[in-house]
Amino acid sequence: MDLQKLLAPTVEAAKEAGAFIRHERENFNQGKVEHKGFNDLVSYVDKESEKIIVKALRGIFPEAGFITEEQTVAQEDTTWKWIVDPLDGTTNFVHGIPSYAVSIGLAKDGVVMLGVVYEVGKDECFTAYRGGGAFCNGRPIQVSTVDELSRSLIATGFPYHLGDRLDAHFDLLKDLVKGSHGLRRIGSAAVDLCYVACGRAEAYFEYNLQSYDISAGTLIVEEAGGNVSDFKGGRDFLFGGEVLGSNGKVHGLMLEKMAGLAAKK
């Protein structure tokens, strides 16, 4: 499979969906928002964006199946799968906060081989394919070289369902607030990971995630020279529901800090 050849049309698909999202945001009607669960929002924009992406990707690589957030297409048992989040950061979108993205990953047997994240508000397109490096709007990007948590900016998210990890999670947040440059809750896992990849943050962690939230972003971090793992340092992050992405320099330090949260799984 020529991943490099697949990249450009995948970017086009992401930007086509992004253009639709941008247009709809200008006259967005909050009355059309649905609730999948408490604080878990979905709009007609998510669904229509997904249809745009699926149609485009079928033309790019028709043999591949799909894993999609809004399930506008049936999942198939195929070696290659597109993993699609048509609008990562829906709550930001609904409230007019300009940090949301289209995320498209392509995985072979559960290993992500290509990733595109198009952050609509900033018109930044982050891309990578395995072994080819990471880029933002065509320019190479790398993770930061910071090797101390005291000089690190840490991104995180708050899951819709905190469960019995709530206390451990907030204990960790208090510890990091006191021992780092600060915490940021941007509201899009895909964007968080890309910000680690380009050196804007040193680490990002979150749990209760789905594969479509992080498929593209995790590859982009790795291709930018960073490290990605689950909360125990293993590789069960794509379908394991939790992820730590970092510049690599502070990965071990973050895992030590996260030991209490990891134990609660």
Binding residues for Mg(2+): 69, 85, 87-88, 213
- Name, in order, each residue with C-beta under 8 angstroms of 149's C-beta and a sequence gap of 6 or more: 176, 179, 180, 202, 250, 253, 254, 257
* CA distances for 118 relative to 24, 99, 128, 213, 244, angstroms: 16, 10, 12, 13, 21
CB 251 within 8 A of CB 203: yes
Tokens 């930044």 belong to which residue?
124
Beta strand 227-229 with 242-246 is antiparallel
Q: Where are the alpha helices (DSSP H) in the chain?
A: 3-26, 44-60, 90-95, 166-179, 189-197, 211-223, 251-257, 259-262
Q: Which two tokens stand for residue 133?
A: 């490096």
- Name, in order, each residue with C-beta under 8 angstroms of 148's C-beta and a sequence gap of 6 or more: 250, 253
Binding site residue list: 69, 85, 87-88, 213
Report the alpha-carbon distance of residue 119 to residue 98 in Å, rounded: 9
Order of strands, sheet of 182-184, starting from the edge strand that comes earlier in the sequence: 182-184, 153-156, 203-207, 242-246, 227-229
Q: What is the residue type of 239? A: F
